[in-house]
């Protein structure tokens, strides 16, 4: 498996997690070209959080899963799935209309023992959260007696998609290289957020920033 790559880059106000599905509306000509090339060449592109004029170094590859709609003016809607995490090494702004990035892929540190009690606590808080926020919590609910297996992902990445995390919290979680660290961040976040869910503005914020599509797990 390759450790370095050159990717077309799509900076967005979005943090993409491995395994996550996200709908995107493509309207700028340079990104229409990027997506067309990725589809034709069956290659992923990179998504990095671009927030307040700051491009975060840790990103995630995105693979086009399908074109949902094409418009007469050339715009189109697609669904992408998150793949591998990487760190930006260098940027090239001259070769293409869009940014090209040399990236180094990375995974979690090997040999970690997952903290089952931490997972159970986290899953319990998550299940309570989705029950109170989403109209169909049954498609999101996780088992608390065992750790589910996600294709190309981890329980923390699944929970992070629908936990009401703010952008920079998502970015921190994406960069962590231990599952226990990610679960602990979600646990602390949900423990603080759940008491505030009676405030209408919190529900509005969560629904406004939730752009993920859930495909479910093999639990």
Local confidence pLDDT in tens for the 219 residues of the chain: 779 999 999 999 999 999 999 999 999 999 999 999 999 999 999 999 999 889 999 999 999 999 999 999 999 999 999 999 999 999 999 999 999 999 999 999 999 999 999 999 999 999 999 999 888 889 999 999 999 988 888 999 999 999 999 999 999 999 999 999 999 999 999 999 999 887 767 777 777 777 788 764 443
Query: Helix, strand or coil for residue 36?
Result: helix
Burial of 124 (0-12, 13-18, 19+ CB in 10 A): middle
Query: How large is the C-alpha radius of gyration of the chain?
Result: 18
The two structure tokens encoding residue 156? 């923390």
User: Under a CB-based contact definition with an 8 Å cutoff, are residues 44 and 5 in contact?
Assistant: no
The two structure tokens encoding residue 48? 């990095």
- For the chain, the straight-line distance linking the first and the last C-alpha, in angstroms and rounded, comes to 28
CATH 2.40.37.10 assigned to 4-105: no
Is-above-0.75 flag for pTM?
yes
What is the Cα–Cα distance from 25 to 135, expressed in whole angstroms? 24
What is the Cα–Cα distance from 33 to 189, expressed in whole angstroms? 39
For the chain, the domains span 4-105, 116-209
């Amino acid at each position: 498996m390759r450790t370095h790559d050159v990717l077309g880059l799509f900076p967005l106000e979005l943090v993409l997690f491995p395994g996550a599905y996200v709908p995107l509306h493509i309207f700028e000509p340079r990104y229409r070209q990027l997506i067309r090339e990725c589809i034709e060449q069956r290659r992923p592109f990179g998504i990095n959080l671009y927030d307040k004029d700051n491009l975060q170094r840790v990103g995630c590859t995105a693979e086009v899963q399908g074109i949902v709609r094409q418009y007469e003016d050339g715009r189109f809607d697609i669904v992408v799935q998150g793949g591998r995490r990487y760190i930006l090494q260098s940027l090239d702004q001259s070769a293409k209309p869009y940014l090209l990035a040399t990236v180094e892929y990375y995974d979690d540190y090997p040999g970690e023992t997952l903290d089952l009690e931490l997972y159970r606590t986290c899953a319990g808080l998550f299940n309570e959260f989705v029950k109170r926020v989403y109209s169909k919590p049954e498609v999101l609910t996780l088992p608390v007696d065992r750790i589910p297996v996600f294709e190309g992902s981890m329980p923390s990445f699944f929970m992070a998609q629908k936990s009401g995390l703010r952008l920079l919290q998502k970015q921190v979680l994406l960069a962590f290289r231990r599952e226990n660290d990610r679960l602990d961040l979600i646990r602390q976040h949900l423990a603080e957020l759940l008491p505030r869910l009676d405030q209408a503005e919190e529900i509005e914020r969560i629904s406004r920033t939730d752009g993920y599509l859930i495909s479910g797990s093999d639990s």
